[in-house]
Amino acid sequence: MPGTEFFGAEERKEVNDVLNTTALFRYNHDALRQGMWKAKELEEEVSKFTGAGYAHAVSSGSAAVACALAASGIGHGDEVIVPPFTFLATIEAVLYAGALPVFAEIDETLCLSAEGIEAAISPKTKAVLLVHMCGAAADMDSISLLCENKGIKLIEDAGQALGAFYGNKSVGLFGTAGAFSFDFFKITTAGEGGLFITNDEETYKKADTFSDHGHSHVGDNRGMEPHPYLGFNFRISELHAAVGLAQMRRIDKILGLNKKNKKYLKDRLREIDGITFRYMPDEDGDSATFLNFFLPSIELTKKAVARLAEEGVGGINYWYTNMYHFINQWDHLKNLSASAPLAIHHLGAPQDYKNLELPKSQDVVGRLISLGIRATWTAEEIEKLGDDLTRVIKEVLASHPVEK
Ligand SMILES: *Cc1c(COP(=O)(O)O)cnc(C)c1O
């Protein structure tokens, strides 16, 4: 989580600007704010960095996904194709939009594959909510083409992929709308926050309006603004935006260090026979927040994860058993347990979530180890990590004849 590794005078300055003016609200109050518009500046930075025509800051990455769905016209009863490997927010956003998640297979890109999406398409499919997992892009050529050919909207949950590009184009710009998270664990953080991006002006206006009770944000009298649509409150505060702004100004530095550190560790792991790496269709566009590699079997992977924990090797994620990132642990989803009825309770689930067969996704996530890359490792720390990783994994692989 590199964003939090760099927290200093710049973040404090931006926050103090807001505290000094007391203009904690992102709209209006022009006289009070003395020229301070942190949310707007954050949006400008994200537009500049991603090349997006429009960026809109909101209260969380989850809110940004909700805005992306709403602004793309996805709602009650619409089937939305989603991956079984993602942070749960993706699925919740679909359910709370009144739409129906349809799970499809991922592959070694760690993202939905065109093949997986195609197999999950039904006459009711309205959109694919593609998640760029672990800091790098999905296979955008084949997925964009498929969505175009099938007339299905492409929406991108790039919650954990700010800084990832595919063919020099930022993730989030391949479909109608994209979402980034600025929560505490992401490459840049606002404490809590998120960004919605799009190249389409109408879509942007819908998201802007949706995120603030339907306000059109035209004119300087908030109480008298037109309200073209209903919405909700997904506003970001100026305090959070201030932190996000300072962090955004550091993103190139963070990316540079991530890439350097990831390359070192990946080169170390290349020494090991029996390991393969996450397939990245555009490796240069990787944000390098995670080093993802596969062992030959789920059994060996579990063993390696246990041994790495015993050896005190930090930063290891085994998503296969994680409660929030893989479908196997989503009992509440399988049971449709919600605090109140959702559209899916009335319409029925489009798949039998309790008996889904996703063998490819099971195999990929079961054999996957994700190491979180830090930007601030010292030379000694990263060398020791490389030593520990290679030693433990070699030992585990040697303990079993490799079968697969
Ligand atoms: C972090 C994340 C989110 C949610 O972001 P929050 O800011 O925590 O609401 C959504 N989707 C993905 C893929 C994420 O990684």
| Mean pLDDT across 216-241 | 95
Q: Report which ligand 1 atom has the smallest distance to the Cα of 89.
A: 10
Cα dihedral 117→111→171→238 (10° resolution): 110
- Which residue, by CA, sits nearest to atom 5 of ligand 1? 61
In the annotation, is 38 catalytic?
Answer: no
For ligand 1, mutation pick of 157, 171, 189 (most atoms within 8 Å of CB)? 157
Mean pLDDT estimate for the chain: 97
Going by CA atoms, what residue is nearest to atom 6 of ligand 1? 61
d(CA 289, CA 370): 10
Q: What percent of the chain has pLDDT over 90?
A: 97
pLDDT single digits (tens) 72-131:
999 999 999 999 999 999 999 999 999 999 999 999 999 999 999 999 999 999 999 999
Residue 401 has pLDDT above 70, yes or no: no
From 38, 126, 153, 186, active-site residue: 186
For residue range 20-37, what is the model confidence (pLDDT) as tens digits? 999 999 999 999 999 999
Percent of the chain with pLDDT over 70: 99
Q: According to the model, what pLDDT value does residue 145 have?
A: 98
Whether pTM > 0.95 for this model: the answer is: yes
| Cβ of residue 156 lying under 6 Å from some atom of ligand 1 | no
Domains, the chain, with CATH or none: 2-251 (3.40.640.10), 252-399 (3.90.1150.10)
- Indicate whether 404 pLDDT > 60: no
Distance 33 CA to ligand 1 centre (A): 30
Higher pLDDT, 2 or 71: 71
